[in-house]
Amino acid sequence: MTTENNADIFLFKPSDLVSWTMRYKDKAVVTYCLGDTGTIFRKTKEPSKWTKPVPLDSYFTAGVHSTGSVGRWCKHDPSLEPVFIDPKGKFELYIADAQGTREHYKEFDLVIDGGNVLSSHYHKSPADILTGDVGLVEALKSFVTNKMSGKTKVLQIDWTDREAPTLDPAFWPALRAKLSGKILCNCQGGHGRSGSSLAALIMCCTDYSPLDAITHVRTVHCARAIESSAQHEYLNKVGIFLGRPGNALEAKKVKDFQERFLTEVTSSFAKPYQQRLTQTKES
Quickly count: other Cβ atoms within 10 Å of residue 212's Cβ: 27
pTM: 0.70
**Residue where a domain stops, chosen among 60, 75, 103:** 60
What pLDDT is attached to residue 32? 54
Query: In this structure, are 218 and 120 located in the same domain?
Result: yes
What pLDDT is attached to residue 157? 84
- Residue-wise DSSP of 66-114: GGT----S---PPPSS-SEE-TTSSEEEEEE-HHHHHHHGGG-SEEEES
| Pairwise CA distance, residues 102 & 121, whole Å | 7
The full 3-state SS of 148-205, as one line of letters, equals: HHHCCEEEECCCCCCCCCCCCCCHHHHHHHHCCEEEEEECCCCCHHHHHHHHHHHHHH
- Domain range enclosing 197: 84-269
**What's 253's domain CATH number?**
3.90.190.10
| Distance of alpha carbon 115 from the chain centroid | 10
Judge whether residue 106 has pLDDT over 70: yes
What pLDDT is attached to residue 36? 52
Cα-Cα-Cα-Cα dihedral sign, residues 182, 143, 132, 174:
negative
Q: Which of 73-77, 93-97, 133-137, 186-190 has the lowest average pLDDT?
A: 133-137
Query: In this structure, are 96 and 189 located in the same domain?
Result: yes
Our CA dihedral for 233, 213, 92, 171, rounded to 10 degrees, sits at: -30
pLDDT cut 90: percent of the chain above it = 47
Query: In this structure, are 102 and 209 located in the same domain?
Result: yes
Rg of the chain on CA atoms, in Å = 21
Query: In this structure, are 99 and 235 located in the same domain?
Result: yes
Query: In this structure, are 16 and 92 located in the same domain?
Result: no
Judge whether residue 54 has pLDDT over 60: no
In the structure, what pLDDT confidence band is assigned to residue 154 with cuts at 50, 70 and 90? confident
Q: Give how many domains the chain has, as a whole number.
A: 2
| Pairwise CA distance, residues 215 & 208, whole Å | 10
**Mean pLDDT, to the nearest integer, of 162-168?**
89
What pLDDT is attached to residue 43? 52
Tally of CA atoms within 13 A in the half-sphere of 83 that contains its CB: 33
Q: Strands 39-42 and 54-55, how do they pair? A: antiparallel
Query: In this structure, are 134 and 46 located in the same domain?
Result: no
| Selection from 83, 93, 273, 84 nearest residue 179 by Cα | 93
What pLDDT is attached to residue 68? 28
Domain annotation covers residue 71: no
In the structure, what pLDDT confidence band is assigned to residue 49 with cuts at 50, 70 and 90? low
Listed ranges 74-83, 178-187, 219-228, 265-274; the one with the highest mean pLDDT: 265-274
What pLDDT is attached to residue 209? 98
What pLDDT is attached to residue 130? 45
| Pairwise CA distance, residues 266 & 84, whole Å | 16
What pLDDT is attached to residue 116? 82
Bigger pLDDT: 203 or 114? 203
| Pairwise CA distance, residues 229 & 163, whole Å | 8
| Pairwise CA distance, residues 231 & 176, whole Å | 19
How far from 94 is each of 66, 104, 183, 184, CA to CA, in Å? 23, 11, 6, 5
| Selection from 236, 149, 162 nearest residue 193 by Cα | 162
In the structure, what pLDDT confidence band is assigned to residue 280 with cuts at 50, 70 and 90? confident
**Mean pLDDT, to the nearest integer, of 176-180?**
90
Domain annotation covers residue 42: yes
In the structure, what pLDDT confidence band is assigned to residue 72 with cuts at 50, 70 and 90? very low
Judge whether residue 218 has pLDDT over 90: yes
What pLDDT is attached to residue 95? 97
CB 219 within 8 A of CB 277: yes
In the structure, what pLDDT confidence band is assigned to residue 156 with cuts at 50, 70 and 90? confident
User: What is the average pLDDT score of the chain?
Assistant: 76
In the structure, what pLDDT confidence band is assigned to residue 31 with cuts at 50, 70 and 90? low
**Mean pLDDT, to the nearest integer, of 52-63?**
44
